[in-house]
Structure 1
Amino acid sequence: MSSATAVAAKRTGRRGDERLAWIFITPSLLGFAVFLLWPTLRGIYLSFTSFNLLTPEKWVGLDNYERMVNDPIFRDSLRTTVYYVVLNVGAQTVVALFIAVLVQRLTRSALLRGMVLTPYLVSNVVAGIVWLWLLDTRFGIGNQLIGALGFEHVAFFGSEKWVIPTLALVNVWRHVGYTALLLFAGLQMIPATMYEAGRIDGANEWRMFWRISMPLLRPVLSLVLIMSIIGSFQVFDSVSVTTGGGPANASNVLQMYIYSTAFSRFQFGYASALSVALLLVLGLITFVQYRLTRAGETDLD
């Protein structure tokens, strides 16, 4: 076979592979366009309109965004959401990192890993309802134990002071196993020779954790933090089934406010503006965090 014929055959094979690749990814692209791209573009457009489903949308320009800047409920919802995110991400990351290190250093049992991941298989709605029962002020087993120890019962979901920490810890309980599994996978990528060299140099486990595990785990930890922060800002279902935003709007997180604005007050234009603001906040946080943590780089090279 001549070189020209070989080149032509190679190009034909490459075009055939490209066509096959497009056949496989086309359904995903269609789903992305129909269920994500188009709703996003439509929502951005509606954020510049006044729309309530009963009448055609009316272009109002930046009026919705001006209203949002001067909306005290929006500011309170944003502060509540940030408070929830800090508690949730902070506690979840620390506990998950502790579990991941224990699993890596002490055991390789697949059964134990499965047990750690079990709460993640429970939906947010089910987890919220179960914990609402367990922490009920009068009849919940949690308050029964508190009462047995001689303390006053705590209104975990009914107190302005405790509602956000309680929601954050319920979310930590559900997601910590999945987060720990991701961090465990990152720890598995660190060569064992690194730890062997540390032991030869006389380093203890604590010193190897800070000098070896944490620096080399940085890319995976950065990804986990980005995912956790985005997911925490979008909290809705667990709040909806437990408190509905109460008491006294103490758990009225941003997603809850967007939902009530759209489907209780039928102010879809303003709700779209709130959604766009949340999108911009998450995009900015992700960009800054990605750059500061150098998530796309690794020290294993």
Structure 2
Amino acid sequence: MPAARPVSTRRNTTFFSRNKLVIMPLVFIAPALAMFSLFVIWPILQSISLSFTEWQGIGPKKWVGLSNYRYLFSDPVFWTSLVNNIYWLVLFLLAPVFGLLVALFLNQTVFGIRLVKSLFFFPFVVSQIVVGLVFAWFYDPAFGLLATILEPFGIEFPPILADEDWATFGIIVAGLWPQTAYCMILYLTGLNSVNPEMIEAARLDGAKGWRLLVKIVLPQLRAATFIALVVTVIGALRSFDLVAVMTEGGPYNSSNVLAYYMYDNAIFRYRMGYASAIATVLFMIMNVYIIWFLLRLWKNEKGAR
């Protein structure tokens, strides 16, 4: 008898079936990407285009090319604001260090430690506006807490926020308070994942104190340290709230930062084009760090595979 002819099975070869591993992720990402483009990408592009114009917020825009940028780099207040941002960036890096020390102190099982933890958590949940008002009263040379404490000793507390040389550093100290609390939370979370067996083995080998911290604990806190540095640097570059509440950039623009100088030009001086130029420069400075962060994150993800 003749052999039976094989039945051919017709496979579904539609475009969707061939590319569903590419199409489906795009379908799920599309809504978030649309919102991100509408509320982030589009305003950024508008701000950059506005920096090449002269505009008061109403009426027609006048194209001026690079005039805003030429004036920007000859503006002494801009350079003061940029230097102050560098001060913020350098001194804010103390927050991860202080946060680690506080986390190590709180990572103990002793009576009442939960109450102490709640006191250290307090700055993290308080608004930056409240922090600014509290420290403005704290620095008050007439009725502030420091002046009241030093008065019996005959020591006159200087008006920090009214001093051109010290106003910026007084605000930075106020900003370090909640930032340290945030870094502390990151390190407390990281300490919960530290391998206790490695610590016990290191102690049996004679490691203790500083050596135990550097050789055993800190390498296991690398992820928490990385996130703490990223958040701290971005927070330093976009500092605005405390400056607005405590000094409004004064005295004589000595405590100005780029974010507040941009706000001042846009809202109070009606120089939208010039404010957009300041925002563009700040955006480019932040992009340097953001690109480094994304490259580092991509390398870590690639190495983990």
State which of 196, 201, 211 in structure 2 corresponds to 1:197.
Answer: 201
2:98 aligns with: 95
Is the aligned partner of 1:172 residue 2:176?
A: yes
1:47 aligns with: 51
In structure 2, do the counterparts of structure 1 residues 291 and 53 end up closer, same or farther at CA, with 3 Å as the change threshold?
closer
2:4 aligns with: none
Shift of 1:234: 0.9
SS at match of 1:130: helix
SS at match of 1:101: helix
Residues 223 and 295, structure 1, Cα contact 8 Å, conserved in 2: no
Aligned-residue sequence identity (percent) comes to 32
Partners of 2:134 and 2:183 in 1: CA distance: 21
In structure 2, do the counterparts of structure 1 residues 287 and 94 end up closer, same or farther at CA, with 3 Å as the change threshold?
same
1:232 aligns with: 236
SS at match of 1:157: helix
Shift of 1:289: 6.3
Partners of 1:249 and 1:164 in 2: CA distance: 10
Q: Give 2:177's aligned amino acid.
A: W
Partners of 1:300 and 1:207 in 2: CA distance: 28
SS at match of 1:235: coil
In structure 2, do the counterparts of structure 1 residues 298 and 181 end up closer, same or farther at CA, with 3 Å as the change threshold?
farther
Is the aligned partner of 1:84 residue 2:88?
A: yes
Rg larger for: 2
Residues 84 and 257, structure 2, Cα contact 8 Å, conserved in 1: yes
SS at match of 2:143: coil
State which of 224, 237, 252 in structure 2 corresponds to 1:220.
Answer: 224
Q: Deviations over 1:179-210 (max 9, x none)?
A: 11112222322211221121011011221111
1:122 aligns with: 126
Q: Could you tell me the TM-score, scaled by structure 2's length? A: 0.83
Structure 1 gap segments, 5+ residues each: none
How many pairs align? 292
SS at match of 2:161: coil
Q: Could you tell me the TM-score, scaled by structure 1's length? A: 0.84
Q: Give 1:164's aligned amino acid.
A: T
State which of 158, 161, 164 in structure 2 corresponds to 1:157.
Answer: 161
Q: Give 1:184's aligned amino acid.
A: L
CA RMSD of aligned residues (A): 3.3
Residues 136 and 155, structure 1, Cα contact 8 Å, conserved in 2: yes
1:70 aligns with: 74
Structure 2 gap segments, 5+ residues each: 1-8
SS at match of 2:155: coil
SS at match of 1:137: coil
More deviation, 46-55/258-267:
46-55
SS at match of 1:244: coil
Partners of 1:103 and 1:296 in 2: CA distance: 30
2:135 aligns with: 131
Q: Give 1:59's aligned amino acid.
A: W
Residues 51 and 268, structure 1, Cα contact 8 Å, conserved in 2: yes
